[in-house]
Amino acid sequence: MDENKVELIVPESLIGNRADHVISILLNDYSRSRIKQWIEKGFVLVENKKITPKQKLLTGDKIIVYVQVDDKELQFKPEKIDIEVIYSDEDIAVINKPAGLVVHPADGNWSGTLLNGILNIFPNNKLLPRAGIVHRLDKETSGLLVIALNEISQLKLIQQLQAKTIYREYRAIIWGNINAKGFIDEPVGRHPKNRIKMSVNKINGKNAVTKYEPIENFEYHTYLKCILETGRTHQIRVHMQHIKKPLVGDPVYGFKKILPFKGISKKFIDMVTNFPRQALHAKKLELIHPKTNKKMSWEAKLPDDFSDLLNVLREAPAVGMDFEQPRTSYDTYKKFLDKNNLEDFEEDEF
């Protein structure tokens, strides 16, 4: 029963909450319903005693969770998938995931995923929960993620994620201008009306913090550095939408329709209106190696589509745009659209 054992401590901020709720927050790679099943089957102990999902926990309570591999996961098959492994040793591997690759099998994507490719490269990972995957990237987000190659490494990496000591730095291209460093501290949870989307949800959302810093400003866009302090589903995409600076190309949280602008090249219009994915790339990853305890970091170069978009934005000022001042906010941007008789966006289209 010691296999896949995870130890947790209840923080002061969660005192008095139900056990299944507390554990779903501390072990947020697993659903609350799945954790509830583990509790009911005796795979969760608090102070070395079996509990019920409704039991209220106290600050400092020691939780032991024996993570159970889902039967479906045991059925996942190795597949030969083109995966760039930029680093590996006996304990961890770092992957540079291309855009378009689903990380974990789910409804509609039971094969052809990163997990299937991992099982092909690292066959022993079939014995690990989620084949050693400890964090994810959206299908259309490119860049770095780390996987564990044994149980101890997986536990220690999960603990680092919980302690917010894994550094994850992204590059994004957004609509609108951001001219200074800042951060967004807004809870992220399921959209109250559309359950397939996430949103800033002050009632049921989980704490989420995104730091950002402009790297380069363009006429309509900003090339942005984003740093995750938390790792909620779609966090950067939702936070950028919330401040009305959505990612270029985002099919869920971005502009649904962009009409051509006067005086701008067709190349520019085609690129920014037809970019095939959210312009988001996990560029840098930094963590403490689970065995050596040494700090390690990796960087992944920008993929070609992202670099091409940047180059087009850099060329734009030379194509004869006639503006009195740069666009600095969404309101300014709307005035520009109105002035040129271009179609505006409804608020619910962000």
The predicted-structure confidence for 161-177, as pLDDT tens digits, reads as follows 988 899 999 999 999 99
Q: Give 336's DSSP letter.
A: H
Give the catalytic positions in this structure: 138
Q: State the Rg of the chain over Cα.
A: 22
Question: Can you give the pLDDT at residue 345?
Answer: 40
The CATH-assigned architecture of domain 71-158 is 2-Layer Sandwich (3.30)
pLDDT at 263: 64
Is the fold of 71-158 the same as that of 168-280+305-349? yes
What are the structure tokens assigned to 222, written together? 């900003």
Q: What is the pLDDT of residue 259?
A: 55
Q: What homologous superfamily is domain 5-66 in, according to CATH?
A: RNA-binding S4 domain (3.10.290.10)
pLDDT at 331 (0 to 100): 55
pLDDT for the residue 326: 37
Instruction: Give the residue extent of every domain in the chain.
Output: 5-66, 71-158, 168-280+305-349
Fold classification of 168-280+305-349 (topology level)? Pseudouridine synthase (3.30.2350)
Residue 79 burial (C-beta neighbours within 10 Å; 0-12, 13-18, 19+):
middle
Residues in the chain, pLDDT under 70 = 1-3, 28-29, 70-74, 107-108, 256-263, 317-350
